Chain A
């Protein structure tokens, strides 16, 4: 039992999860959902929950419809295990977030936190891959939304609403997902520069080229940055060479094409977690990449990011967060994902939200969890 938590429950199924949540709610207690425990430190440092609900027994890959490229996976299934199963059929769930200690990150945790990795460039994030959901609510209800087909507009898209809701609306019991064919081969072209402007321009040129990249990432550390463009397919080499040529034309140095590129991308994922400092996620316009790189340089941060999407992950000294926020005041979001608890206590890790949108979010929270039992105080605006 984790420190401060008075009760630890491991429900065997969705109904039992709903009952456990309802039981906590009825007694005025708070509950937190626990998957692989790889991201429990994200969000506001809230109160210690009274009850912790483990998803460990929700561990079935309930369906893998190979011919339909869909699957139904329970929340407690480690993403790595699901990928192994899909991979055996030449398929994948196109999500590659960092998997954390012991590769323990679960499907439920990844969807509840809307975490993603370099594949987001081509396939989108969890919200773009989820086609249905089953949730348990704190009034004891088990409800479903969406379905098991990739094209479906019946009913409200609660699957997206629960994706990224950090367990504050209820517990995800299982998700229905769209799968993709696993490409037979990959290749990555890389180039580097110490000039943020040049890196930014190269990223824009590559993003606008019709090369169908799987991933387009940026990395910055120690005063130098690199751009990585990955292609896949039956024969990716010729296209990787075109990516390399484009990077060369843009004036990048150290151009290379790497066929055995898994390690490169693993390193990008590592950069999405804090090792010593604090980890900040920035969402900005893609064209503002140069400003983000400049800010990283000025604040002594290392950075990895999705160059064409405007999402960057910066690791920096906690004291540098305020100056970073000031420099990036125009960004859509500057969120402290991962950092020391005292830091997440001292300042709101979520930053500022549109007041009107926040009001709506509070109403949504009230509608799904009127008792306020689900992971309170940790989310945006103290939800």
Chain B
């Protein structure tokens, strides 16, 4: 433990002893992120106050050969911020300064611990920051960078990666690199965003903000079943309309959300659709009428148009409460984050229904219907023997169904530890190898957030490497001129 003691005193020298936690009680908060069933106690948790301190901490870990994990607000849903037992957890919660706001350049510069909502607040009311994960009140921009977070409005506006213009990053050897969107060279910025903390840690972040739309119009429509609602979504998008958000809830999630919020959702409906349009007055007015008609044509009834901001908030309140409200329906649930091509929605829902019946479990569906991002909530009761295991198996089969339909295992929650086992179902060994090449270029010693994203641990320099078939064997396939 001498090495551990030496490391600890170095960390204390950098951050101050009150910001280095090693006692198990003090570390309890940091054992897991938003996916609480994965737990690990790190060697130490440190809470640096500046980017410089982060750099020194990382350099210190590099010298000691100790792995580290960066953590923002700990709201992640894939175990991406799960500590490693023999490593240091770098908690970025104290780096929460907004460093610069320039509406002229539509730019905000922040430290990684700043919350998502704080960025929009800093530029309101004229501008806003579009990526809006449901946890936006607490989740940090640093975490958003790591996960390439989306949100309800990303169908129209895009994801975190579309809004990051510059990053100052600390690499695992303790050096600092600046990555800019418009700098000549490889798009390292694009490679870094969404890399789940495995390429380094961002200490300064410049984001692009955009003018706030002058109008927002929201409607809520109820349907006989999810299939009819899905059909409505398809006709809306096929009509060339790009809503700011289209969210769907099924019978079970409507019930849970309505009981929790009393927002006025119809309990006898099989599905609810929230459609929100924003933009200029003229365009919104025309498009909104079209949306209303298309909903009605596809069997939508009791179409409710939000008359003001308060009514809109109420409609959204139920949607945003859906996850938490599931507690009323079941004691526990797994949430999945699979994606399917939107047109395959009816097939996906049928498959989920079949699987739920087969596994004798309830599955509630809440999803970003515009981009085909499903959030099935697989309900179970841990007190019933075998049920958690059955639920987990069902969750895995739902992901497999998403892949079978040409989709992805994760739309916004990230791979983390939770879904790394599914990576080989989505990517070939060669694809994974190419991922590893990037990882090794940034972090050859594998110290940054090890054990995440990739299904099996691999060391750099041990890349199984070039495939051995002699290239000339295949030369006959090419025509030479």
Q: Which residues of A contact B (CB under 8 A)?
A: 1, 7-13, 15-16, 18-20, 22-23, 26, 57, 65-70, 90, 114, 124, 127-128, 135, 137, 139-145, 147-158, 160-161, 163-165, 169, 180-184, 204, 207-212, 233-235, 238-239, 283, 285-287, 308, 310-311, 332-333, 335, 350-351, 353-354, 356-361, 363-364, 366-368, 379-381, 383
Contacts and interface: CB of A to CB of B under 8 A. Distances in A.
A144 B150 CA distance: 23
Contacts of B478: 9-12, 16, 19-20
Interface stretch (B86-94, B268-276, B324-332, B464-472): B464-472
Given A147-B407, A209-B211, A156 B439 contact: yes
A366 to B, nearest CB: 7
10 contacts: A16-B477, A143-B428, A143-B431, A145-B434, A149-B406, A150-B155, A151-B412, A156-B453, A164-B186, A358-B185
A1 B481 CA distance: 8
Given A155-B435, A234-B287, 15 more contacts: A9-B480, A15-B474, A57-B479, A68-B372, A70-B341, A152-B408, A156-B439, A233-B282, A287-B104, A357-B179, A357-B185, A357-B188, A361-B188, A367-B437, A380-B185
B178 A15 contact: no
B397 interface: no
A286 B165 CA distance: 12
Given A161-B186, A184-B240, A207-B106, A151 B372 contact: yes
Contact of A308 (B106, B155, B437, B477): B106
Contact of A366 (B147, B185, B441): B441
Contact of B190 (A8, A67, A157, A357): A157
Contacts of B427: 144-145, 154-155
B48 interface: no
Of B178, B187, B368, B439, most buried by chain A (CB within 10 Å of CB) is: B187
Of B427, B434, B441, most buried by chain A (CB within 10 Å of CB) is: B434
Interface residues of B, number: 103
A239 B343 CA distance: 33
Nearest to B442: A360
Contact of A356 (B176, B343, B432): B176
Contact of B368 (A142, A151, A364): A151
Contacts of A1: 481
Contacts of A360: 171, 177, 188, 441-442
A147 B408 contact: yes
Given A128-B162, A155-B431, A181 B339 contact: no
B415 A333 contact: no
Q: Which 7 A-B pairs have the closest CB atoms?
A: A160-B190, A181-B240, A283-B182, A139-B466, A19-B474, A22-B471, A143-B434
Contacts of A127: 187, 190
A361 B186 contact: yes
Nearest to A132: B408
B62 to A, nearest CB: 15
B203 interface: no
A148 B241 contact: no
B180 A151 contact: no
A358 B234 CA distance: 45
A180 B241 CA distance: 10
A145 B194 CA distance: 13
Contacts of A9: 478-481
Contacts of A26: 471
Of A19, A154, A161, A351, most buried by chain B (CB within 10 Å of CB) is: A154
Given A19-B471, A149-B372, A151-B373, A161 B191 contact: yes
Given A19-B471, A23-B475, A212-B283, A354 B183 contact: yes
B371 A153 contact: no
B138 interface: no
Contacts of B426: 147, 154-155
A140 B280 CA distance: 51
Of B184, B214, B409, most buried by chain A (CB within 10 Å of CB) is: B184
A200 B107 CA distance: 17
A188 B340 CA distance: 37
Contact of A67 (B148, B184, B238): B238
Nearest to A310: B182
B149 to A, nearest CB: 8
Contact of B430 (A143, A356, A361): A143
B342 interface: yes
Given A143-B434, A153-B415, A367-B437, A161 B187 contact: yes
Given A151-B368, A286-B105, A356-B178, A210 B211 contact: yes
A184 B290 CA distance: 15
Contacts of B148: 153, 157
Given A234-B287, A283-B182, A364-B188, A124 B162 contact: yes
Contacts of B184: 333, 335, 350-351, 353, 380
Contacts of A147: 339, 407-408, 426
Interface string B341-374: 1110000000000000000000000001001110
B415 to A, nearest CB: 6
Contacts of B279: 210, 212
A165 B384 CA distance: 55
A271 B188 CA distance: 28
Contacts of A144: 427-428, 431
Interface in B270-299: 279-280, 282-283, 286-287
Contacts of A22: 466, 471
A151 B371 contact: yes
B466 A356 contact: no
A360 B343 CA distance: 41
A234 B241 CA distance: 10
